[in-house]
Amino acid sequence: LQTRMQSLQPDPKAQYRSVYEALKKIVLTEGFWRPLRGINVTMLGAGPAHAMYFACYEKMKKSLSETLQHGGNSHLANGIAGSVATLLHDAVMNPAEVVKQRMQMFNSPYKSVLGCIRTVQKMEGFSAFYRSYTTQLTMNIPFQAIHFITYEFMQEQINSHREYNPRSHIVSGAIAGAVAAAATTPLDVCKTLLNTQENMALSSVNISGHLSGMVNAFKTVYQLGGISGYFRGVQARVIYQMPSTAIAWSVYEFFKYFLTKHKLEKRT
């Protein structure tokens, strides 16, 4: 839904006024499973990407907090740790995101994940999978900094003893995801344009070939939609991120609690 709603020059058949209308229209005209196209490539990359992401975050947060605030909870340390962890996470997830978004476009010519990978590789080269990487990082570094700082701040407010409390992890994760998603929507719109290389949008502003670079993407978005163009799909983005970050944090905190408890039991 987010990819479709961020389309800057959509086909008349793919114009949506709201998240609900978009979902209803896609299901009725393109089939029940259409909104889930490309989910398999996302799932394939998500495992190793998130493993590196949380491992790097936990290690860096601990080391930096000891240096900056003598073992206390430093918001600066949380932001830096989240930003560095993003570098590893996005190196794995960026190609998966390119494939997913190309398959989710209206009238997408790609029938399968492998077919999409082969066609993009053949027509545009390997660099096509990382064309939006700098934009992804430019978006995700502030996103993750805001996300981690907000999560840790919320934990201080509703779970000050930092005990395992599923409800507090879900609430903190959802709020952190919503705040970070809303703040970084303009960068996400630019990333979507770089990933999809939307033909109708590019030809309407006389761009031939491939659009590359965040600065060019920002200019193109403004030419096509003005200031409001930067916030296309903000509702879909927030709705998507809230459960996503809530689930990620609750699962992570559960395994952290489970493994720590198991380790302590083995020692005693």
Q: Which residues contact 77 (CB under 8 A, 6 or more apart)?
A: 60, 61, 64, 65, 67, 68, 69
Q: Classify residue 121: in a domain, yes or no.
A: no
Q: Classify residue 214: in a domain, yes or no.
A: no
> What is the Cα–Cα distance from 129 to 72, expressed in whole angstroms?
40
> What is the Cα–Cα distance from 228 to 147, expressed in whole angstroms?
24
Full DSSP string of 67-107: HHHTTS--HHHHHHHHHHHHHHHHHHHHHHHHHHHHHHSTT
More confident residue, 107 or 129: 129
For the chain, how big is the Rg over CA atoms in Å?
20
Residue 155 has pLDDT above 90, yes or no: yes
Residue 199 has pLDDT above 70, yes or no: no
More confident residue, 258 or 5: 258
Q: Classify residue 243: in a domain, yes or no.
A: yes
Q: Classify residue 101: in a domain, yes or no.
A: no
Name the residue range of residue 244's domain.
Answer: 236-267
Least confident of 21-30, 100-109, 118-127, 235-244: 21-30
Q: How many domains does the chain have?
A: 1
The per-residue pLDDT for range 68-102, each reduced to its tens digit, is: 877 677 888 999 999 999 988 888 888 888 888 78
Q: Classify residue 197: in a domain, yes or no.
A: no
Average pLDDT over residues 238-244: 92
Q: Classify residue 257: in a domain, yes or no.
A: yes
Whether 41 and 100 have beta carbons less than 8 Å apart is answered as yes
The per-residue pLDDT for range 9-57, each reduced to its tens digit, is: 565 665 666 666 766 766 666 565 555 565 666 667 777 888 888 889 9
